[in-house]
């Protein structure tokens, strides 16, 4: 029975990992917006902000599923115990990464996004863009984009630590993977990755 529960919880955990790719796609969207090049305008920017705004709640749900299935895996795995949550580095990194991601998302959802919304709401389909609006939106968007880059790095780090938790991956190798994850998150933050990895 333990085996079936482990399989089920690992499946839920892995599917949630997949669905937590949101920071990657949000960075793709904002980089594509920059590539599109059109000036700030109601239709393009309202559409983009709707996509980004509506993603937060989905993300909270997946983060909750991640925590629940992760804790469930500790409960059902005979070789793991609750004390590993504070003694096993891979598990510590995982839950701390998740906690930071929840905090960053809460900051974006409850503080940053409402400010972006207040400014974007000043855009109207049939009137010119108010003077000085574009730079004010750009400052907030830049901060949000940076946080998405950090979140992408944390998702990848928690995923790599999953390999340690499951396959006892060597910590030095895990460290190399984490360094590559940092480089990749930086790349996705800076430029639209037209070829996936580049």
Which positions touch ligand HEM (CB under 6 A)? 6, 10, 13-14, 17, 20, 66-67, 70-71, 73-74, 77, 80, 91, 94-95, 97-98, 155, 158-159, 162-163, 165-167
Whichever of 17 and 48 has its CB closer to ligand HEM, that residue is 17
Whichever of 17 and 113 has its CB closer to ligand HEM, that residue is 17
Per this entry, what is the length of the chain? Answer: 198
Q: How far is the CB of 127 from ligand HEM (least distance, A)?
A: 43
Tell me if residue 195 falls in helix, strand or coil: coil
Query: For 39, which DSSP code?
Result: P
Whichever of 40 and 80 has its CB closer to ligand HEM, that residue is 80
Q: How far is the CB of 59 from ligand HEM (least distance, A)?
A: 11
Whichever of 2 and 32 has its CB closer to ligand HEM, that residue is 2
Q: How far is the CB of 139 from ligand HEM (least distance, A)?
A: 29
Q: How far is the CB of 4 from ligand HEM (least distance, A)?
A: 12
What is d(CA 42, CA 40) in angstroms, rounded to the nearest whole number?
A: 7
Closest alpha carbon to 97 in 157, 21, 147 = 157
Whichever of 74 and 133 has its CB closer to ligand HEM, that residue is 74
Tell me if residue 88 falls in helix, strand or coil: coil
- Six-digit token string for 183: 């480089």
What is d(CA 102, CA 151) in angstroms, rounded to the nearest whole number?
A: 9
Q: How far is the CB of 166 from ligand HEM (least distance, A)?
A: 3
Closest alpha carbon to 2 in 68, 79, 70 = 79
Query: For 82, which DSSP code?
Result: T
What is d(CA 95, CA 3) in angstroms, rounded to the nearest whole number?
A: 23
């Amino acid at each position: 029975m333990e085996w079936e529960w482990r399989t089920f919880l690992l499946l839920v955990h892995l599917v949630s990992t997949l669905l937590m790719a949101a920071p990657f796609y949000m960075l793709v969207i904002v980089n594509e917006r920059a590539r599109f090049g059109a000036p700030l305008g109601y239709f393009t920017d309202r559409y983009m902000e709707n996509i980004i705004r509506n993603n937060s709640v989905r993300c909270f749900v997946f983060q909750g599923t991640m925590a629940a299935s992760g804790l469930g895996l500790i409960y059902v795995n005979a070789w793991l115990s609750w004390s590993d949550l504070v003694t096993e580095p891979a598990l510590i990194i995982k839950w701390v990464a998740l906690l930071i991601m929840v905090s960053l998302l809460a900051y974006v959802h409850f503080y940053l996004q409402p400010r972006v919304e207040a400014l974007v709401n000043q855009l109207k389909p049939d009137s010119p863009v108010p003077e000085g609006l574009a730079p004010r939106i750009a400052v907030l968007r830049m901060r949000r984009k940076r946080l998405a880059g950090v979140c992408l790095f944390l998702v990848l780090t928690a995923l790599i630590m999953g390999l340690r938790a499951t396959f006892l991956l060597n910590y030095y190798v895990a460290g190399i993977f984490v360094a590559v994850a940092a480089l990749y998150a930086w790349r996705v933050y800076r430029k639209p990755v037209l070829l996936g990895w580049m």
